[in-house]
Amino acid sequence: MKSSGIGGQAVMEGIMMRHGDEYSIAVRKPDQDIEVKVEPYKPFIKNKKLLKLPIIRGVFSFIDSLVIGTKCLMYSASFFEEEEEEVKKKEEKKSKMTPQELKKQEDREKKHEKWLMYGTVAFSVILSVAIFMMLPYFLTNLLRHVTNSEGLIALAESVLRIVIFLIYLALISRMKDIQRTFEYHGAEHKCINCIEHGMELNVENVLKSSREHKRCGTSFLFFVMIVSAVFLMLIRVDSHVWRIVIRLLLIPVIAGVSYEIIYLAGRSDNPLVNLLSKPGLLLQRMTTREPDAQEAEVAIRAVEAVFDWRAYLAENFGYEYMENSDE
């Protein structure tokens, strides 16, 4: 199975899909219409040679995913955060502005959204590092009062990190809004699986496809936990300060190595790779839900905005297949 190269993310009542130099956002608005927006993909680093280097590319890909993902989440939320009356008032106010005033207003709004997005990304990263990297360290550091075994302490820290991660997933999966987002997450996976398994992209085929995919962000986070455990078992220092510094410095390396594992998994059907992917696929049962037909329709619209799935099927499954599938 050849990878389609398309990836995505669930947003509020919608889906973001990225392929090549573009990404799309499809959102089911409160009036039930589907709004589709296509934007050029602008990577954090534009040096193509640098982006081909193993591990390095994973670090920048992770940064890009955070920035674009946050931007898409904010865009999708904009359809639901204001009442219809407030929207009308804003539109009326803008209609009374001169072209120069309107441009200045739009520039202010864009600047505000940009800094809000960067602030959200920074806060998310800091919070994630504090909860999933530093909290397990400080908690397991208490074991030094009862044991001097660095191996045992490192193992306990890794296990605790995974436990905290699982508790976090279990808690957020109980939230109603998150459950809806997880349904769209399932629709995103089902669309990609539908295409990559040679089926015509329609609601019926999407709904019967698997909601698990080896290139999922959930699998990436699982490998982050495993890779961090391996590094921390191998790298040991006596200084309390240096133990903290090393954990912080290793974050980009851990992200880069985890990306390479996901990158390989998405392009290989090797039995060993499939076996290594199993735990991540099992975790996806927590972060995905079965979507309905309307959610599948939104996902399809997002895919079709940036990806020619008919050409992909023709190239990878033959024109004869395409002719039969259109009958």
Q: Is-contact 236 150, C-beta < 8 A?
A: yes
User: Where in the sequence is the domain holding 120, given as residue range(s)?
Assistant: 97-326
pLDDT (0 to 100) of residue 325 = 47
Is 226 among the domain residues? yes
Instruction: Please state the pTM of the whole predicted model.
Output: 0.86
33: its two tokens: 């219409």
Give the count of beta carbons closer than 10 Å to the beta carbon of residue 28. Answer: 21
Torsion angles phi and psi, residue 225, rounded to 5: -65, -45
17: its two tokens: 């899909």
pLDDT (0 to 100) of residue 260 = 92
Torsion angles phi and psi, residue 212, rounded to 5: -110, 140
Residue 114's identity, in one-letter code, is K
Q: To which H or E segment does residue 305 belong? A: helix 293-306
Is 167 among the domain residues? yes
Is 90 among the domain residues? no
CA distance 5 to 86: 40
Q: How far is CA 161 from the centre of its chain?
A: 20
3-state DSSP assignment of residue 267: coil
Integer angstrom CA distances of residue 208 from 186, 233, 261: 11, 42, 28
Is 215 among the domain residues? yes
Is 134 among the domain residues? yes
CA distance 270 to 209: 21
CA distance 255 to 146: 32
Integer angstrom CA distances of residue 48 from 81, 253, 302: 38, 20, 26
Is 74 among the domain residues? no
Per-residue pLDDT tens listing for the chain (327 residues)? 678 889 999 999 999 999 988 999 999 999 899 999 999 988 877 777 877 888 999 898 888 998 999 999 999 988 886 555 565 666 666 666 777 777 777 778 778 777 888 888 889 889 999 999 999 999 999 998 888 888 899 899 999 999 999 999 999 988 888 999 999 999 999 999 999 999 999 999 999 999 999 889 899 999 999 999 899 888 888 888 999 999 999 999 999 999 999 988 888 888 888 888 899 999 999 999 999 999 999 999 999 999 999 999 999 887 555 544 443
Is 237 among the domain residues? yes
Is 30 among the domain residues? no
CA distance 18 to 42: 11
Residue 42: CA atoms inside 13 Å, Cβ hemisphere, count? 5
Domain count, the chain: 1
Q: In what order do the strands lie in the sheet with 14-19?
A: 7-11, 14-19, 22-28, 34-40
Integer angstrom CA distances of residue 146 from 141, 149, 150, 152, 244: 10, 9, 12, 11, 21
pLDDT (0 to 100) of residue 312 = 93
CA distance 120 to 25: 19
State the chain's maximal CA–CA distance in angstroms. 72
